[in-house]
Chains A and B, each alone.
Chain A
Amino acid sequence: DADVTQTPRNRITKTGKRIMLECSQTKGHDRMYWYRQDPGLGLRLIYYSFDVKDINKGEISDGYSVSRQAQAKFSLSLESAIPNQTALYFCATSPPGPQETQYFGPGTRLLVL
């Protein structure tokens, strides 16, 4: 089984709809992240959490919110989806320490019409 899972893997939604992307991990890592990937822009950090009680904004948090329900679960919500939120979304985890190698989920392809 995959260590980091994301649901759904693909989603089509309409402008203005609320949508939640979910991430679960079995790696036992405290640190979890949400990124979005757009062509030509690499990955950009949306939100991150270093433990259940810690939530921090990344560089592009506007229009998104997150919930850390447990050590193993980190959800990303788009309260009112807009077309420019169409992207590939990745959840990642990392162990504590200075290296902080990130382990990614398989990604969620989101299309907002």
Chain B
Amino acid sequence: AQKITQTQPGMFVQEKEAVTLDCTYDTSDPSYGLFWYKQPSSGEMIFLIYQGSYDQQNATEGRYSLNFQKARKSANLVISASQLGDSAMYFCAMREAYTGGFKTIFGAGTRLFVKA
């Protein structure tokens, strides 16, 4: 079974509008972390935002916020006021414990296109 599911292979958004990128996860570990990374066309992976499973508040970093709904096991990324430079692949990831330590599992990604 998929541990991290990103159901939107591609998304379009108009510049200056908000967009939500979906992510659902599956874990039985009570302590886990959720991440979003951005991959521009140049290829590098850029950390955007983190949410711990025990965090009461939704994480925010500038124009990025993480809509964490623990009971639904979803961790959607919201980008407000989209900019042309936001066009990229976005990956949701989960860090969970396993024998010997932690591991991070990535979703397949969502490609975001911002239209002028």
Contacts and interface: CB of A to CB of B under 8 A. Distances in A.
Interface of A: 35, 40-45, 48, 50, 56, 58, 88, 90, 92, 98-107, 109
Nearest to B45: A104
A104 B35 CA distance: 13
Contact of B33 (A88, A100, A104, A107): A100
B108 interface: yes
B44 A42 contact: no
Given A50-B101, A106-B44, A43 B106 contact: yes
Interface string B37-56: 10000011111001010000
Nearest to B54: A98
Nearest to B43: A107
A40 B108 contact: yes
14 contacts: A40-B108, A41-B108, A43-B93, A43-B106, A45-B104, A56-B100, A90-B45, A98-B31, A98-B52, A99-B50, A101-B35, A104-B44, A107-B44, A109-B43
A31 to B, nearest CB: 9
B45 A101 contact: no
Q: Which 4 A-B pairs have the closest CB atoms?
A: A104-B45, A42-B106, A43-B106, A42-B108
Contacts of A58: 103
A109 B101 CA distance: 29
B113 interface: no
B27 to A, nearest CB: 14
Contact of A100 (B37, B43, B104, B107): B104
A103 B50 CA distance: 13
Contacts of B37: 104
